[in-house]
């Protein structure tokens, strides 16, 4: 059973020509299936109004398709978001007679430099994406040590609490005991579905529905994490370097309120100490952020105008 999560960013509409429309929220999901293999297409339907829509769509994906119909600040911000999350596998589709040499200077020195320019052919793209999904060959290892951030959650009659999300790390199996963060509640994983097909396990990159025993849907929220990984922790703040992207001109300043994105979380953070671009920055989160030691997170300033992506930090 192969699966691939793909962010369709830039100009909207192409994903709807390739896949069957599914769930709609601040992201719109489309699905392509062939036998037990599937592709999940994720479009940030609330971007550019909500930067979180773009962040979450890119965060959930392993591959990106960047559709360029004009060269503007939103294209630049999308490129920076992809680069900040190190999405180095992808295609670029050009419209309106835009040529590759017009885009190449924007992606030079970013992880998008290796993206392939593709013709806009939905049928050929659908076939190629399914073949890529088949090649993924996701296999769970021994034991259990995986995490699934919650995108959405609800109750299903006769099943109980179900959460939807993409496995961010590792793997887990049905009947595993999981901890739900940040409430630190232990639950039992009753069943797993991948694209409405029952499965025995969830592996990094799988888009899954998890039926949980021991917690109600109203106890959950987007950004919670279901995990069997003992290294998961919560941090109330951060002190360290910020890896500013090449387009962010000014360093962070004391008193600024920014947001830090990790998995399905976008946590407000107050800058309590800062200096020049090479100085350590200290920030306190509004609440705590759930992560593994050494995870990268994206720093964003929602009042940043044409560019709201600052750069990345490494969580403790």
* 214 in the same domain as 257: no
Do 33 and 121 belong to one domain? yes
Q: In this structure, is residue 242 part of a structural domain?
A: yes
- The reply to whether 19 and 122 lie within a common domain is yes
Residue 142 included in any domain: no
Please indicate, yes or no, whether residues 53 and 107 belong to a single structural domain of this protein: yes
CA distance 125 to 11: 16
Q: State the total domains in the chain.
A: 3
Tell me, yes or no, whether 44 and 91 share the same domain: yes
- Final residue belonging to a domain, choices 210, 227, 244: 227
Q: 93 and 15 share a domain?
A: yes
Domain boundary among 162, 194, 227: 227
Q: Which domain covers residue 217, as residue numbers? A: 147-227
- Is the residue at 139 inside a domain? no
How would you write the pLDDT of the chain (316 residues) with one tens digit per residue? Answer: 688 999 999 999 999 999 999 999 999 999 999 988 899 999 999 999 999 999 999 999 999 999 999 999 999 999 999 999 999 999 999 999 999 999 999 999 999 999 999 999 999 999 999 999 999 877 888 778 999 999 999 999 888 999 999 999 999 999 999 999 999 999 999 999 998 889 999 999 999 999 999 999 999 999 999 999 999 999 999 999 999 999 999 999 999 999 999 999 999 999 999 999 999 999 999 999 999 999 999 999 999 999 999 999 999 9
Q: What is the CATH number of the domain that holds 269?
A: 2.40.30.10
Same domain for 127 and 7: yes
DSSP symbol at 115: P
Give domain status of residue 268, yes or no: yes
Cα distance between residue 69 and residue 269, in whole Å: 34
Q: Strand order in 265-273's β-sheet?
A: 233-240, 281-291, 265-273, 257-262, 296-300, 309-314, 243-244
Q: 211 and 197 share a domain? A: yes
Looking at the fold, whether 103 and 217 belong to one and the same domain comes out as no
CATH code for the domain of 125: 3.40.50.300
Domain end (from 208, 227, 246): 227
**287 and 208 within one domain:** no
Q: Are residues 32 and 98 in the same domain?
A: yes
**pTM for this entry:** 0.95
Same structural domain, 202 and 221:
yes
Partner residues linked to 198 by β-bridges: 193
């Amino acid at each position: 059973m192969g699966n691939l999560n793909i962010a369709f960013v830039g100009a909207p509409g192409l994903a709807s020509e390739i896949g069957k429309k599914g769930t709609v929220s601040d992201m719109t999901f489309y699905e392509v299936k062939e036998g037990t293999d599937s592709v999940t297409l994720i479009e940030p339907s609330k971007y550019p109004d909500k930067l979180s829509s773009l962040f979450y769509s890119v965060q959930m994906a392993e591959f990106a398709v960047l559709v360029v119909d004009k060269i503007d600040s939103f294209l630049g911000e999308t490129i920076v978001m992809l680069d900040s999350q190190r999405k180095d596998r992808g295609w670029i589709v050009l419209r309106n007679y835009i040529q590759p040499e017009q885009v190449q200077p924007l992606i030079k020195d970013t992880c998008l430099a290796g993206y392939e320019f593709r013709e806009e052919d939905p049928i050929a793209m659908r076939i190629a994406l399914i073949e890529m999904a088949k090649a993924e060959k996701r296999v769970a290892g021994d034991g259990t040590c995986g995490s699934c951030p919650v995108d959405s959650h609800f109750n299903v009659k006769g099943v109980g609490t179900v959460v939807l999300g993409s496995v961010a790390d590792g793997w887990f199996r049905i009947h595993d005991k999981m901890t739900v963060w940040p409430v630190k509640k232990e639950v039992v994983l009753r069943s797993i579905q991948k694209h409405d097909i029952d499965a025995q396990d969830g592996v990094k990159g799988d888009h899954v529905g998890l039926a949980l025993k021991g917690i109600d849907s109203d106890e959950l929220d987007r950004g919670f994490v279901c995990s069997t990984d003992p290294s998961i922790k919560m941090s109330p703040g951060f002190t360290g370097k910020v890896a500013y992207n090449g387009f962010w001109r000014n360093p962070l300043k004391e008193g600024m309120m920014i947001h830090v994105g990790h998995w399905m979380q976008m946590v407000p953070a107050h800058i309590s100490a800062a200096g020049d671009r090479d100085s350590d920055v200290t920030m306190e989160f509004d609440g705590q952020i759930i992560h593994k030691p050494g995870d990268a997170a994206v720093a964003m300033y929602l009042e940043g105008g044409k560019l709201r992506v600052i750069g990345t930090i490494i969580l403790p």
